[in-house]
Structures are given as structure tokens and as C-alpha cells.
């Protein structure tokens, strides 16, 4: 496990819990994990990135790594969700800014969504999987991949 994140594939959902923004090596590692999972399953995965409320705000270099990860991840991910946790003003503003950039650029329409909590996306993930995802989220929570 990296000090930056932990990740695990449960069913067809790749969960990653980010404790800090990714390094270049982190991006390469998660891309390799996505590619391996996609090849093993014979279909693209669903990706859920959960950002700890204690994670620092990414600097310009880290934002570039994040952009690379999102762009490259499209090859292996059918759909992605960013769960940006935290309840204070800073976290709310960051969610609004990220959502606003996604809306304005329209780069990731129908691919990347931002949520405040994992519970807020269970229904969307269930729809994408065509089955109830509650047990998958329960396993992810038990393993520390989501709060």
C-alpha cells in the first residue's frame, strides 16, 4: 500500500482512498491496476476515488497528475466518481469548483461526477452495474476505502 493511497477492486468497482494528491508514480500504479482489472474482467471498470478530508489541496504539479489520471483512466473506466469528503467551507468550495470546471469544460460529461459522500452515489453505481451495489459499498467501507 502506498502512503498516498490505498486501492482495491471489489466486483467491477475499483475503489481508491486518497490520503494526499497523487505523485507521478501513483498515477502510473493506479493506471496499471485499472488496465489489469479491465483485462481480467474483459470489460471496463467503474472507478471511485475517495478523497480524505485531511488530504492537502493539490499544487499545480499534483493537479497535472490528476488531469493525466482522469484522461488516461477513460481507457479503462466506464464511469468515474470523485467523492470529496469533508463538511467545512473549504471542502464545499472545492467540490463546487471541481464541479464547475467539469460543467464548463464539458470534457468529462457522463464520465466523471463529484459527490460529498459515498452514500450519495450508491444508486448511480447500482444503475451502472445493473444490480444493487450496497454490499459492494459495505465491503469498501469495511476495508477503509470509503468513509
Boundaries of every domain in the chain: 3-141
Task: Indicate the average pLDDT of the chain.
Answer: 84
- Best mean pLDDT range from 34-38, 64-68, 110-114: 34-38
CA 80: distance to chain centroid? Answer: 6
CB atoms inside a 10 Å sphere around CB 105: 9
Architecture of domain 3-141: 2-Layer Sandwich (3.30)
Residue 78 in 3-state DSSP? Answer: strand
DSSP code at position 2? -
Average pLDDT over residues 91-118: 63
Q: What is the pLDDT of residue 86?
A: 65
Q: Tell me the angle at which helices 24-41 and 60-73 cross, rounded to the nearest 10 degrees.
A: 10
Amino acid at each position: 500500500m502506498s502512503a498516498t493511497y490505498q486501492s482495491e477492486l471489489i466486483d467491477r468497482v475499483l475503489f481508491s482512498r486518497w490520503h494526499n494528491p497523487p505523485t507521478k508514480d501513483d498515477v502510473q500504479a493506479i493506471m496499471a491496476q485499472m488496465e489489469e482489472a479491465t483485462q481480467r474482467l474483459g470489460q471496463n471498470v467503474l472507478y471511485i476515488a475517495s478523497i480524505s478530508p485531511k488530504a492537502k489541496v493539490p499544487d499545480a504539479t499534483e493537479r497535472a497528475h490528476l488531469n493525466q489520471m482522469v484522461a488516461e483512466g477513460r481507457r479503462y473506466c466506464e464511469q468515474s466518481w470523485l467523492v470529496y469528503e469533508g463538511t467545512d467551507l473549504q471542502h464545499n468550495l472545492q467540490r463546487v469548483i471541481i464541479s464547475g470546471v467539469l460543467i464548463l469544460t464539458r470534457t468529462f460529461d457522463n464520465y466523471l461526477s463529484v459527490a460529498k459522500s459515498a452514500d450519495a452515489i450508491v444508486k448511480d453505481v447500482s444503475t451502472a452495474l445493473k444490480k444493487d451495489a450496497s454490499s459492494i459499498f459495505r465491503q469498501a467501507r469495511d476495508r477503509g476505502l470509503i468513509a
